[in-house]
Structure 1
Amino acid sequence: MMPRSTLLRTISNAVYLLLFLMFTFQNPIANAASAEREKMLEGAKKEGRLVLYTGMDTDEANQYAREFTKRYPFIKPEIFRSSGESVQTRFLTEHRANVHNADIFQTSIVQVYQLKNTGLLGKYVSEESHAYGEGFKDPQGYWTAFYLIPYVIGYNTRLVSPKDVPSSYEDLLHPKWKGQIALETEEYQWFYHLIEIMGKEKGLAYMKKLAGQNLQLRKGHTLLAQLVAAGEMAMAVVVYSNRVERMKNSGAPIDWVRFKGPTITAINAIAIPEKAPHSNAAKLFVDFVLSKEGQYLLRGLRRIPARSDVFPDPPSLTQGLNLYPARPEGMIENYRETVARFDEIFNRPK
């Protein structure tokens, strides 16, 4: 048997060897990352500017700009804010004129993916991307989810008794709800992805049955939630859970359905244009937005963070839900067919 002193020396030597190997192989990686970060910071200091093209609300965009400036006071942010479609239109108009102003492009994943498909986005894999689940970041590194919008059924708590609250989309087909359900006039993402989940044949058959419920078509999810809360409709097929939660907390008679199955979840994404004039500042901004600090800001704004280790306020907005990422692949390639089918089923003249 090996003497105790010899055994201790052997264990000690093994530990030292392990630490040496860890330092030898990991330190070059850490040094390389640190050097790359320093290079990025020096580049951003020379650029001194960041131009953000965003679909966020103005107050939200301003808050992110302020917090970013606190961390990087040598960068002056500028903001162009509009709807996702308008932001995309301006970006494409400038691109055709060979004008490149945008350093950050942040809108619905639909617009972001369209820019990726036309080769107008650059690759950037943030150091924070490890905290974002599969389906909520581009596998090629062109975009990452910023915040999430789960699509849920909203209902009026005075018109729908607890025993009648639907637990699935199929429950909306009950005869008692005929003429009492609302749907957004351009609910294309929900339409496409629910058919994907159900399977094409079953999905299209379901949509036709749902249309037979004499749905009330209205433009805008905010309006839908307001109409349900006002009692003008018993339910809406798709509302935003975080918006309903705010209304409920203010005393409105409205709530939303927590699905046991997949909850289709729209993605608001952030990306860097391929010809961003201040690319180093843009990378710093993406890192900040995707960091814990950046995602915690969304809690205060009552948005739903996309980062897996930052929960929304309240946490019940995502806890227990099977979030199904409404990725754009497939839908964008089949966009015209999706719109045509949706309109044929739901928007045809009665």
Structure 2
Amino acid sequence: MADLVSKAHGETGLIIYGNTPAGVIQPLLKAFTKAYPWIRPAYSQLSDNQVYSKYQSEHAQGAHTADLLISDSIQQVVQGEQNGLFANVTPQGLTDFPAYTNQGHGAYVMSPDPVLVTWNTKLLSKNQIPTSYAGLSADVRKDPSRHPLVSYSPNNPLGYEAVYGLNHILGADTVNGYLDTYGPHTKTLDEGLDGLQYLVQGGASAGWLASGLAQAVVPQYKGLIAYGYMSDATPLTPRVITQTAGAASPASAQLFLDYIYSDAGQQVMCAAGMEASMNHFKPANGCTASLTELAKHVPARTTYLVPVSQDVVDRQKSITDRWNKALGR
């Protein structure tokens, strides 16, 4: 640690490219700067594809580019591994986290975001709130007019990974049946914030695929929408962080990784709405965005971390084609 601090003093800045909304990640960046006052991270919010393409383009030209990359796209991460984009560094503190936190080759799960259900509190009464995918399917079949739905698009990495996770937990035949039921009544949107806004405006009564980051955003709508968990399946979609092989500030980047996997970093992430995943995590401020809190609501057997693997990449076309068919496309 002392060696990293000494080296970081000689570096110029810390550049991070990520898909996490700037408003969500800012508390973490500020807390890190408070711990290391001479390091002021410069954060660029980009799409998943832009995170990697911008870094690769700038690195190839020898420009001062990103030291850390944050993305939800498993396909991009797998390709990044194959192209040697990542430094194979190991953050301190990983023994206090689930084994899946280390996805190998320098790729780490920054936050295992649970797939949530969201709903418009004005359109659904308490006994109409979806609590399982099976229950929602039965409700839609019984009264389709009461259940206009919204979800991520199959083209969104998180949306695809969520359905991949559902297939793993519930089985493809069961999930395809649900997709066929939901499809004709579902509006799909590429951005999660757009989906929440669609709910607020009354375009849908429920969102059956919502990012775990909704935990950070929903309170801003002052009770107009709410979120919860599906009891029969809760995929965890990985928000992956990697240190780049071409990092100009590798010591500063390593310190940031170490901070994420510390109790201090986990406290800030939980409060900001990013899923804290430290084993036996105890929130200091009552925050609820943590695997500890999730375990109070859903059985462990119904959760599954979608891995950074070639299989996730290989099955994308078949799963999204089947989903698009259910949507009538």
Q: In 2, distance between residues paired with 1:74 and 1:173?
A: 53
CA distance in 1, matches of 2:19, 2:252: 19
The number of equivalent residue pairs is 310
How far is 1:191 from its partner?
A: 1.9
Query: Rg: which structure is higher?
Result: 1
**Letter aligned with residue 70 of structure 2:** Q
Are 1:57 and 2:31 matched, yes or no? no
Q: Which residue of 2 aligns with 1:198?
A: 170
CA distance in 1, matches of 2:8, 2:114: 35
The equivalences for 1:299-314 within 5 A come to 299-308=270-279, 309-311=281-283, 313-314=287-288
CA distance in 1, matches of 2:18, 2:100: 22
Of the three residues 286, 301, 313, the one matched with 1:332 is 313
1:32 equivalent in structure 2:
none
TM-score by length of 2: 0.81
What is the Cα deviation at residue 245 of structure 1?
A: 7.2
User: 1:234 is matched with which residue: 187, 191, 205?
Assistant: 205
Name the stretch that deviates more: 225-234 or 291-300: 225-234
Match of 1:68 among 32, 42, 49: 32
Q: Matched residue of 1:304: which SS?
A: coil
**Among candidates 43, 47, 52, match of residue 79 of structure 1:** 43
In the alignment, which residue of structure 2 is the partner of 1:178? 144
Contact 2:218–2:227 (8 Å) recurs in 1: no
* Identical positions, percent: 18
| RMSD between aligned residues | 2.9
8 Å contact from structure 1 (residues 152, 258) kept in 2: yes
Which residue identity is paired with 1:153? V
Q: Which residue of 2 aligns with 1:129?
A: 94
> Which residue among 16, 39, 55 is the counterpart of 2:3?
39
Aligned positions of 1:94-113 closer than 5 A: 94-99=58-63, 101-110=65-74, 111-113=76-78
2:123 equivalent among 128, 143, 159: 159
Q: Gaps spanning 5+ residues in structure 1: where?
A: 1-36
**Counterpart of 1:101 in 2: which secondary structure?**
coil
1:229 Cα deviation from its structure 2 partner: 3.4
Q: 1:259 to 1:344 in 2, by over 3 A?
A: closer
Partners of 1:48 and 1:76 within 8 A in 2: no
Q: State which drifts further: 63-72 or 283-292.
A: 63-72
Q: TM-score, normalised by structure 1?
A: 0.76
* Structure 2 spans left out of the alignment, 5+ residues: none
TM-aligned CA deviation for residue 249 of structure 1? 7.3
Go from structure 1 to structure 2 and tell me whether the alpha carbon gap of 1:107 and 1:217 turns closer, same or farther (over 3 Å shift): closer
Q: Which has the higher contact order (CA 8 A, sep 6+)?
A: 2
Tell me which moved more, 241-250 or 182-191.
241-250
